[in-house]
Structure formats: C-alpha cells, structure tokens
Amino acid sequence: MLTQVDRQILKSWRQYAIEPKIAKFTGRVMRNTGPRIALVGNCQSFGVAYAMKVLDPSATVDHFSMIARARSTMGLFAKTLETYDYVFSHDFLDGHVRGGGSEELRQRLPKTIIFPAIGFAAFHPDLVYIHDPTRLHGFVAGPIGAYHSAIGLFAYRKGLSLEMANALFNENVFDALGYLDMWNDASRELLDAARDRYGVDLSAELMNWSRRGVFMYSTVHPMSFVLFDLSKKLFEKVGLKPRAVNFNYYDIHDLARSEIFPIYPPIAKRYGAQGGYMFKLQNHHISTTVGDFLNLPQFLASCYKSYSAHDLSKLSNARVDAWLADEATSGLLMRLARENFVAGLMPTL
C-alpha cells in the first residue's frame, strides 16, 4: 500500500515533468509560476506548508509526511526533492524512507534546510508518552492516542482506585510536582533548541504567541498561527519575501482534528486562561462526524482499561518511574490522594 510520501512523489514528477508539457501543447496558462517548495516532516509540516502557500500563492508547495513507512528509497526521494527550489525538513529517523533519515537526506541534498518542530510543555506538563519497543518509533496507545497522563499512569501502577486517581487532579498535587512553574523552562528549551540547532530565533514570536493566550493543543501540536510565524521565519532564512496577509482569514486548524489534551484549571489560571478536564479524541473525518470527548473520570477509566491489556513492565515512562522509585515523592502523592478524596475534591469537567 502506498503511503502519502509515495503518492506525493508520483504527483511531484507529474507536476514537474508532465504537466508543463501538456500545458505548452494545449496553451493552458500554468497557475503556479513561483518557486517550487517541498516540506518534509511530522504532523506539524502540513501547517507549515499551508502557511507557505498563503505567503506565496504562486508557489508550488508540496508536503511529504514522515509518519508512515514509505516504499520509496532515499535515492528516489532525494532525486525527487532535487527538482524543488527549496527543501525544508524536520529531523526524521531511519525507517520512514528506505535508506536513511533526515541526516542522509541532507548529505545527498545539501540545500535541505532542517527546521525545528515546535514543542512547549508549560500548558500540558502532565502529558507523557509510553514507548512501545515493538513498533518503529511507536508508542503505547491509550484513549486519546499516544497522549497519557503521568499522574494517571502513576495511579494505575500504584494500584489506586479510579476514585483515588481522580483525587490526584488537584492544585496541591500540581504544585507539589512543579506543574505550575514550567513556563521558564519550557520557553528556554524551545528558544535554545531553535536557535542553537536550527539557527532560528523565535524569541519575538514566543512573546507574541504568549500574548494571544494558549497557543498549543498539546506539548507537540501548536496552533496554526504559530506555524504561520515559523513559515515566515523560514522564508526569510532562504531569502524569500513573505507577503503581508491576514492569516486569520485563511486559517486552517489542521492539528485540531487530532487529539487535544486539556489545560488543567489550576494551570490555566496561572496563565490567565480558561481550563478544564475535557479530553478530545482524534477525528480526521470531521466532514462525516463531529467526534467525541471524555471528561476526567471517563478518561481515567479508559486509561485503566487500556493499561490492563499490558504487562506492567511495558508501561514504563521515565518520569513516572522516577516518582515510583522515590519514596518521598510516591508517599506525598499517596497522602494527597487520600486527603483530597476525603475532602471530596473530585474534579470532573
């Protein structure tokens, strides 16, 4: 079965080698007369590609999604991308294309610009992943895909009831775990990585994003205006002039179709935003169904059910492992769970 990358390679050669000849023969005026731009990367790359098309409607902007295993080889992939004027790529590991990852691509095609993926944990400090060693760069799936709650996973591994697990979702627990004070570290991590590894200064952009309020759907899924600003920086990096445009008017919230992790109310309050405990399930077929959501008790119950299908040794996460190994942290969380439960502190929405 062909992946998106395989299909896009075929489409690219048709656009590059066949359609101009047909247009010349038929007299049809080509619409896209600007630069050819290729975007290679993870789930954020479509948003960057779309923003670049908005910035230059005359450009041919093609998106190559590095998520599934492609049948195509790195040789064919690099040869295809060579036909583009500009190639931008996220870091990606071996296995998505046969024969190498982003480092191999850059060696074969030096004009490739590696650009940062946006990650920011301050709004969603409880979000963690459980790695699945049996799958290529894969993770254990829960009720909302790869996103898990560190607190919920801790509760399950300690054998707490669902009610006691629910009682852990309170401000005193978040404060004890440092969840309320992650802004500076998250900002530093984002800015340092973008600047030092990719040569992109996002300091002014981060300030503007924070003024707009919440700008992430999860730790790894930024809102589309974030990707628009990143696209402008990439245009400037290669000497392309981004045109002035009201992006809000043409905005597509592509990543909102995926899972959305809530911003817990005490954390949201810290940043002057509205929070809640509503977990959104992915819905990539929004034209046919409105999708579904889980409140906190439903989410925890679904997590417990999915975890029960795995051996405890397969439910490892470095942060949760550290909590469990540290008697002081583990004891504190257990005490707070009991106290909150007795006090009736059982958030739901």
Question: Do 40 and 90 share a domain, yes or no?
Answer: yes
Question: Do 108 and 154 share a domain, yes or no?
Answer: no
CA 57 and chain centroid, separation? 26
Question: Do 27 and 67 share a domain, yes or no?
Answer: yes
Closest CA to 119 of 214, 219, 202: 219
Question: Do 133 and 108 share a domain, yes or no?
Answer: no
Q: Can you point out the beta strands (E) in the chain?
A: 36-41, 60-65, 86-89, 113-114, 127-128, 131-132, 138-139, 148-149, 279-280, 293-294
- In a domain? residue 154: yes
Given 86, 115, 144, the domain boundary residue is 115
Residue 230: Cβ-neighbour burial (10 angstroms; 0-12, 13-18, 19+): buried
138: containing domain: 127-182+258-342
Give the separation between CA 151 and CA 174, rounded to whole angstroms: 9
Question: Do 105 and 9 share a domain, yes or no?
Answer: yes
Q: Tens-digit pLDDT profile for the chain (349 aa)?
A: 788 888 988 898 888 777 776 767 676 766 778 999 999 999 999 999 999 999 999 999 999 998 878 888 999 999 999 999 999 999 998 888 888 999 999 999 999 999 999 999 999 999 999 987 766 557 899 999 999 999 999 999 999 999 999 999 999 999 999 999 999 999 999 999 999 999 999 999 999 999 999 999 999 999 999 999 999 999 999 999 998 999 999 999 999 999 999 999 999 999 999 999 999 999 877 667 888 999 999 999 999 999 999 988 889 999 999 999 999 999 999 999 999 999 999 998 7
Closest CA to 105 of 93, 117, 116: 93
- In a domain? residue 236: no
In the three-class reduction of DSSP (H, G, I as helix; E, B as strand; rest coil), residue 41 is classed as strand
- In a domain? residue 244: no
- In a domain? residue 103: yes
Question: Do 178 and 323 share a domain, yes or no?
Answer: yes
CATH number of the domain that residue 44 is part of: 3.40.50
Question: Do 39 and 64 share a domain, yes or no?
Answer: yes
Inter-residue contact 226 to 252 (CB < 8 Å): no
Distance from the first to the final alpha carbon of the chain: 42
Question: Do 140 and 51 share a domain, yes or no?
Answer: no
Question: Do 60 and 104 share a domain, yes or no?
Answer: yes
- In a domain? residue 208: no
- In a domain? residue 219: no
How many domains does one find in the chain? 2
pTM: 0.92
Given 66, 83, 115, the domain boundary residue is 115
Given 66, 91, 115, the domain boundary residue is 115
- In a domain? residue 81: yes
